[in-house]
Homo-oligomer: A and B are copies of this chain.
Amino acid sequence: MADAIDRFYGVIPAGGVGSRLWPLSRAEAPKFLHDVVGNGSTLLRATWDRLAPLCAEDRLLVVTGEAHAKEVRAQLPELIEENIVLESEGRESTAAIGLAAAILQRRVPDAIIGSFAADHLIGATDRFAAAVREAVEAADAGVIVTIGIQPIEPSTAFGYIRAGKPLKIPAAPSARKVDAFVEKPKEATARRYLASGEYLWNAGMFFARVDRLMEALAESNPALAAGINEIADAWGTEQQAEVTARVWPGLEKIAIDYTVAEPAAARGELAVIPGYFQWDDVGDFAAVSRLRKSTNGNGVTVHGDESNVVVVDGSGLIVNHTDRVVAIAGIKDIVVVDTPDALLVTTAANAQKVKQLVAEIKESRRPEVL
């Protein structure tokens, strides 16, 4: 049998609208297709580039919506056609990752997969790679595995993982049992988590042997697993279109956290590898502001043509995707996103409210700008 890392396949579910990043992120061009933090690479492309050194390019799969296929192919010219799994509609992460796993299982029965959101930001690629290698080894030992990020601040924006006792897997020495997943905490709780040293950020990365993943899913959600297997059996055959059209829209919409990870944790069969690298889900413009440092030394970060922006006694993030002059006076930590058909004005502290704005625009006379 080949080494574990040589049977490792990366799955990139590229879905999710990122509505708190509107009007940068749109239904037609969601977050993962954008260079959200302005480092010269879209989030999707950066995800690919981070994984390519860990598995040959023919072992990277992308699951995305049919509406985004063209742009995904344009951003990832190395993506081979049989590794792109197109969804007629989003059915959440269990269906997306499960189908990729089931398709792979039929090609490479002892494959190990790892899933990596297409719209997260990760730094320190070498330490990321080290954690992935260990996660792959732990998965090969038969457990479901996640990577938990070592927190650097008492964030209230992320969920946490409480790490338990070491699992003593020889090839994965830092693997620990996951005692529990905990929801986004209040600040006092987050401080306690950070101080305890026992909590890691839940970055939503999961690793498993494909057979183990499908078994775990069949146990927790038999109907969903059966639907996925039915599509996977037809995949690449003449029946693919018919079966997919019939079965896919009926699959339960549920996150893999609930179908696989939490049940595995409850059984004591979920491992966590601590990751000592920068990670962020870039969930809102406060994150973008935090991640993209001031470009002019006085607290103003411009994403676009800086010579169109004038700020007096203010600071914050200005995304200008038009040729307009943007002039700001007297607002600290402002967020301005200026696009041809929509303008957002908020502050970093209010960045979560963008979701509410989006909900209101959906009900307004102008839903086409979403």
Q: Is the CB of A346 within 8 A of B325?
A: no
A353 closest partner in B (C-beta): B329
Q: Which of A54-92 contact B (CB under 8 A)?
A: none
Given contacts A325-B369, A342-B325, contact A347 B331 (CB under 8 A): yes
Q: Is the CB of B324 within 8 A of A341?
A: yes
Q: Is the CB of B312 within 8 A of A356?
A: yes
A365 closest partner in B (C-beta): B307
Q: Is the CB of A345 within 8 A of B327?
A: yes
Q: Which of B336, B341, B364 interacts with A345 by CB under 8 Å?
A: B336
Q: Is the CB of B310 within 8 A of A357?
A: yes
Q: Is the CB of B347 within 8 A of A330?
A: yes
Q: Is the CB of B324 within 8 A of A342?
A: yes
Q: Number of copies of this chain in the oligomer? A: 2
Q: Per DSSP, are chain A's interface residues mostly helix, strand or loop, or mixed?
A: mixed
Interface residue? A350 (CB, 8 A): yes
Query: A136 — which chain B residues lie within 8 A by C-beta?
Result: none
Query: A5 — which chain B residues lie within 8 A by C-beta?
Result: none
Pick from A312, A324, A325, A364 the residue with the most CB of B within 10 Å. A325
Q: Is the CB of B343 within 8 A of A338?
A: yes
Interface residue? A344 (CB, 8 A): yes
The docked-state distance in angstroms from the alpha carbon of A366 to that of B313 is 20
Q: Which of B313, B327, B336, B356 interacts with A361 by CB under 8 Å?
A: B327
- Shortest distance from the beta carbon of A357 to any chain B beta carbon, whole Å: 5
Interface residue? A340 (CB, 8 A): yes
Query: A313 — which chain B residues lie within 8 A by C-beta?
Result: 350, 353
The docked-state distance in angstroms from the alpha carbon of A228 to that of B325 is 41
The 7 lowest CB-CB distance pairs between A and B, nearest first, are A330-B350, A329-B353, A329-B346, A325-B342, A327-B357, A307-B365, A312-B356
A sample of 7 more A-B contacts (CB under 8 A), given A23-B325, A325-B342, A326-B342, is A22-B327, A312-B360, A325-B343, A325-B361, A326-B345, A327-B345, A330-B350
Binding site for B on A (CB under 8 A): 22-23, 307-308, 310, 312-313, 323-331, 334, 336, 338, 340-347, 349-350, 353-354, 356-357, 360-361, 364-366, 369
